[in-house]
Structure 1
Amino acid sequence: MKTEFGFSNLIGTVFNQGNLLFTPDGYSILSPVGNRISVYNLKENKSFTFPFENKKNISHIALSPQATLLLSVDEDGRCILCNFLRRSVLHYFNFKSPVGAIEFSPHGRYFVVALGKLIQVWRTPEAIDEREFAPFVLHREYTGHFDDVVSISWSADSRFFLSTSKDLTVRIHSVDPIEGFRPCALTGHKSTVVSAFFSQDQQTIYSVSKDGALFSWKYSPLFQAGEIIDEEAEENRDRTHIWMIKARNYFFQNANLRSAAFHPTTNLLVVGFSNGLFGIYELPMFTMLYQLSITQSNIDTLTINSTGEWIALGSSKLGQLLVWEWQSESYVLKQSSHYDSLSTLVYTPDGQRVISGADDGKIKLWDITSGFCVVTFTQHTSSITGLCFAKRGNVLFSSCLDGSVRAWDLIRYRNFRTFTAPNRVQFSCVAVDPSGEIVCAGSQDSFEIYMWSVQTGQLLERLAGHEGPVSSLSFNSSGNLLASGSWDKTVRIWDIFSRSGIVEPFPIPSDVLALSFRPDGKELSVASLDGQLSFWDVQEAKQTSLIDGRKDLSGGRKSTDAQTAENSSGNKTFTSVCYSADGSCVLTAGTSKYVCLYDVLTGVLIKKFQLSKNESLQGVLEVLNSRNMTDAGSMDLIDTQGEASDLEDRIDRTLPGAAKGDLSSRKLHPEILCQAVQFSPSGGAFAAATTEGLMIFSLINDFIFDPINLDIDITPDTTLAVCGEGEYLIALVMALRLNEYKVIERVYESVPVADIDHITQQLPTTYLANFINYLSSFAAETPHIEFHLKWMRSILSHHGEFIKGRNFEYASQLTSLQKSIVVLSKRLSQLSSNNEFSLSFILDKMQATSVINA
């Protein structure tokens, strides 16, 4: 199998912290997710995640007005400049202190950065022929604030910008020296000024503070300011105008104002509060259009798109991202992450969606193409411990620590069956036979395996024999054997349809954490607490091979570890194991930042995939900073949250000593873990349930040259020349040996329809699997539907017997072919429905015209 997997997308987490941004066209929104940035295209219903990573969680992002350059800054002030269109990193820079705000100017020539009390204006890197040694050039520095700067806002002409601070002031700065202009401070607020904005004509400034006060400042003649203090007379001698407060308005909410956004064209002000309420006001009359409560937690960030129609709101505590269309009062986007750590995942049989379960008791269905959550099931009341699918149908089974196993209909999105035990137990795993007739669940309390009938919901049998909690269950491909692993250091194989009742346990050196059958059902892989993978022949009941994966998993040191990363392999274990579609490889993950891919036959580690480089997580750093180490331990464990100014920020509601929990809690240091990993049915991707979310790794098909039996005479030119002479079979074989996508596509499209059967009948079986993969990709891209269907029918009719005898080897190819057929059927149904409406419109139009003429 191919192993060129690379990071593809991050779903399952939609917002973590930082600020939200709309693209200039107003159709896409950028959201920080940990140390990555996700982009949600609301027009095309798609999303993607940038492949680059910051060293720590991203605190601020900024996008240039031309949507070409993107700046992302992490918690320590390290910045990445990337090309937004090409998704590639251009430059790394370190501001050397935490950043309070960062904004591009409207004309895009400058960007301003707030570093504590200091403000810096930098020139935006330009696209020039000569590469710059230092793309970031400092333009000016500004001082004057006595506390940290909170926000920055530009004027429309890019000549001035406003800065707000915790020192209760707003200051006006000019980018370049202007004759007659003097920087001034606007004072009068009694709490931290959250934001300040220029009006469209730049004659008014609006400032909002945390205590819910809105001040309107006007640039007025000096004589209207009233009496001037004598000490300031000399300073104001040459000034003719001054900024004065013209209006004071208050929101009167029993909560702190957390965020604000202003749209100058429509004079709309949107404010968000700590109680989950946000309001829309029209200025300067301070007319409240309406208020809406969307959550019970803080609204940490707000932004408005360029047209002023959509409002994006983010809540980091709940991991919630909302886009609200205020005129129609409807949601454009409403997504939320799991409140707690992911515990399990499973692919749908068609491979189009991934289902995740978490410790918050919720089950979410994610669309891989769009990256959005389709539906959320909330009936469970405790941690989800297992998810599984029957091979046929759209039925999902889930087990939970609340003592129930539920069956979900994924067509109607409802829970149609609930299975419970006679006594109160906690279920730690679930499995269903391939036919979908019987579902089994293992218990943590009674050490038994409960078996129910899916049709009637009745408890059929309780399988006893284990002497410890049952940790994992798996059915073989035929459905007659059930494997169970337990903490009693045994694996048992149950013949559930036999009446003999004899079960021979397989002895394992340590507690069993996970197990999985090979797709043909003849081999069993077992992961144990000692970090080993053992492989067992099910028929002979003997161990065939053993892989020690502790050294492969080792790496990453936590702040509390007394050992180095190289020597800390003792606590590294595999918690999930999954076979590839052809059974030649096994994918494993566990209490580490790595996902390991092994070859089963040789036991060799093929590849390691690092899940994250986010240093905000425990277990990512290889070497700890010796400056942070003291005799009492690491300084990273010191609680700095108690120094926060707000009471709600100082309160700690997390459990002490927890290794996982609420990801948005700043007191908690989550550890990088992977609770579950699984291959997609087609084998072209795999998903990992990690601390940061649901990571998708897919095959990288770009610039991969993988020839098959390549000769010196086989080149793209000679292949196309043979095709032009009418030797289509030879040309197709040459193209498949060359294994270059564009060449195969041109030869494939050149074959006449009448010669399809002849060519497929004579096609060597060596190239059959490769050709079916290309056939699936061609069918999903080009519009020749009938042409592709003829190829598919011809391949299956002439080589069906050969494939049937080797269905185990061709499982991924057949799944891809089925997926492409589903795509073609959807396209046909959509086309026919469009034609039906068009024809009915034309007929109605003709009938109306004939009536008028008559």
Structure 2
Amino acid sequence: MPPKADPETLALRKELEDLYKKLQEEQKKQQDTTFEQALEGVAAAPRVKLSTKKQMKGHLNKVNSVHYSGDGRHCVTGSLDGKLIIWDTYTGNKMQIIPLRSAWVMSVAFSNSGNYVACGGMDNMCTVYDLNNRDSNGVAKMVRELAGYDGFLSSCRFTSDKSIITGSGDMKICKWDLESGRKTSDFIAHNGDVVSISLAPDGNTFVTGSVDKTCRLWDMREEKPKQTFFGHEADVNSVCYHPSGYCFATGSEDKSARLFDIRSDQELATFKPPSPNSAFTSCALSISGRILLCGSDDNNVHMWDILKNQHNGTLSGHENRVTSLSVASNGLAVATCSWDQTVRVWG
């Protein structure tokens, strides 16, 4: 049993919750129409029909994270078997296998150029590998070990081949210069573990999700959030920028996915599956931004037409919870990974 909070802490929590509610009420007052009313005249999107094009086996334990390279062909996966695998999703072949010093990998990232991959997890470290350079064993060369976290590394994303941004269980966001291996920024970003990071299409801003139930919008050059978004009732496990750059989607432990608008500073829509009995681990948007995909702990990927708030289909095939998904940059495929130790490519 967790220790009981003292009366002062409980009073502060209540005060914070009351402030959250007040903020939400003020936001609601600004609404002159609803998302549904504004889009009444839009026709529903045709049903998305995706099937498994490749089922890629090779990991020997739960696969926790997948991320596509900028070429839309290669992806990297990280597993609790202590390995990163670089896959050719067109052929299903393994291109490289990278053994890790720590098996507790939670997040992976592929640089847009396809030159580097990064990973991290319970080792409280972000490790970067150069795929174009091999060591004496023929394995991709480790070029950086970025240490200095007081918690697990939950998320990482390359902003370029020379810099990376990370979120961690110590509530911090760090930006790193990969050439020098030094932090350029290090700041408390949330009131709980930072779980997910998504970069804006223009690369100038990014959004984060946290176990403090909020999402925050950041400018790359500033260390204070530009906006904070409320609404979720549990951990925000995943955030994903809309291709337009004007809004973002979320997937949460509270069994809902949501769409938040940056310009109007509020939630536009809430998405729930036909039988809302499962939490969402990950989310992504189609290249058009019309279809939202969410990986779930019910072993499926749920899809919605976001403009009509209609459930658009389910991708079934995994035999355990879907932990992560990534949409190819060309929009032609979706990669998913699962605790069933497999990676699937849908198209």
- Normalised to the residue count of structure 1, the TM-score between the two structures is 0.33
Out of 268, 288, 300, the position equivalent to 1:582 is 288
The yes-or-no answer on 1:484 pairing with 2:205 is no
Contact 2:60/2:341 (<8 A) preserved: no
Deviations 1:289-315, CA, capped at 9 Å, x for gaps = xxxxxxxxxxxxxxxxxxxxxxxxxxx
Question: Counterparts of 1:679 and 1:488 in 2: how far apart (Å)?
Answer: 27
Distance 2:173 2:221 in 1: 15
In 1: Cα distance, 2:334 partner to 2:79 partner: 18
Q: Of the candidates 391, 398, 415, which is equivalent to residue 119 of structure 2?
A: 398
AA matched with 2:54: N
For 1:428, the aligned partner's letter is S
> Deviation at 1:534?
1.2
The answer to whether the Cα contact below 8 Å between 2:63 and 2:80 also exists between their aligned partners in 1 is yes
Cα offset, 1:675, TM superposition: 0.6
For 1:419, give the aligned amino acid. L
Cα pair distance change 1:463/1:503, threshold 3 Å: farther
Residue 340 of structure 1 corresponds to: 61
1:431 partnered with 2:157: yes
Aligned to 1:361: 82
- The equivalent residue for 1:790 is none
Distance 1:354 1:390, change over 3 A: closer
Query: What is the 5 A alignment of 1:352-391?
Result: 352-391=73-112
Would the alpha carbon gap of residues 539 and 396 (structure 1) be closer, same or farther in structure 2, given more than 3 Å must change? farther
> Can you give the 5+ residue segments of structure 1 that lack an aligned partner in the other structure?
14-336, 555-568, 618-671, 699-854
* Higher gyration radius (CA): 1
Task: Indicate the residue corresponding to 2:181 in structure 1.
Answer: 457
Asked if the contact 1:587/1:678 (under 8 Å) is kept, the reply is: no
Say which of 492, 506, 529 aligns to 2:229: 506
Distance, in Å, in 2 between the alignment partners of 1:498 and 1:354 is: 31
Match for residue 325 of structure 1?
none
How many residues are matched? 294
Partners of 1:368 and 1:431 lie apart in 2 by 21
- The aligned amino acid for 2:147 is T
Q: In structure 1, how many angstroms separate the alpha carbons of the residues matched to 2:299 and 2:202?
A: 35
| Residue identity in the other structure for 2:343 | L
1:710-749 matches, cutoff 5 A? none
SS at match of 1:425: coil
Higher relative contact order (CA 8 A, sep 6+): 2
Amino acid at match of 1:579: L
Q: Which runs of 4+ in 1 moved over 6 A?
A: none
User: What is the correspondence of 1:204-603 to structure 2 with a 5 Å cutoff?
Assistant: 337-392=58-113, 394-412=115-133, 413-421=140-148, 424-433=150-159, 435-444=160-169, 446-498=170-222, 501-507=224-230, 508-549=232-273, 551-552=274-275, 569=277, 572-603=278-309
- Which residue identity does 1:486 align to in structure 2? S
Q: 1:471 to 1:454 in 2, by over 3 A?
A: same
Q: CA deviation at 1:436?
A: 3.9
Residue 5 (1) aligns with residue 50 (2): yes
Aligned match of 1:679: 327
Contact 1:387 1:397 in 2 (8 A): yes
* Kept in 1: contact 2:76–2:117 (CA 8 A): no
Superposed CA RMSD = 2.0
- Asked whether the equivalents of residues 380 and 400 of structure 1 are also in contact (C-alpha less than 8 Å), the reply is no
Letter in 2 for 1:474: S
Name whichever structure is richer in helix by fraction.
Answer: 1
CA distance in 2, matches of 1:451, 1:536: 25
Provide the C-alpha distance between the structure 1 equivalents of 2:147 and 2:179, rounded to a whole number of angstroms.
14
How much does 1:525 deviate? 0.5
Q: Distance in 1 between matches of 2:302 and 2:191?
A: 31
**What secondary structure does 1:376 align onto?**
strand
Asked if the contact 2:112–2:158 (Cα under 8 Å) also holds between the matched residues in 1, the reply is no
Superposition deviation, residue 437 in structure 1 = 4.0
1:345 Cα offset (Å):
0.6
SS at match of 2:132: coil
* Equivalent-residue separation in structure 2 for 1:517 and 1:393 (angstroms): 21
Contact kept? 1:363, 1:376, Cα under 8 Å: yes
Contact kept in structure 2, 1:485 and 1:515, CA below 8 Å: yes
TM-score normalised by L of structure 2: 0.79
Q: Secondary structure at the match of 1:578?
A: strand
Where do 1:769-848 residues align within 5 Å? Answer: none
How far apart, CA to CA, are the structure 1 residues paired with 2:114 and 2:295?
Answer: 29
Q: Does the alignment pair 1:607 with 2:313?
A: yes
Q: Percent identity?
A: 20
User: CA offset at residue 363 of structure 1?
Assistant: 0.4
Q: Once the two structures are superposed, what CA deviation does each residue of 1:119-166 show, in whole Å capped at 9, x if it has no partner?
A: xxxxxxxxxxxxxxxxxxxxxxxxxxxxxxxxxxxxxxxxxxxxxxxx
Structure whose residues are more often strand by fraction: 2
2:256–2:272: 8 Å Cα contact kept in structure 1?
Answer: yes
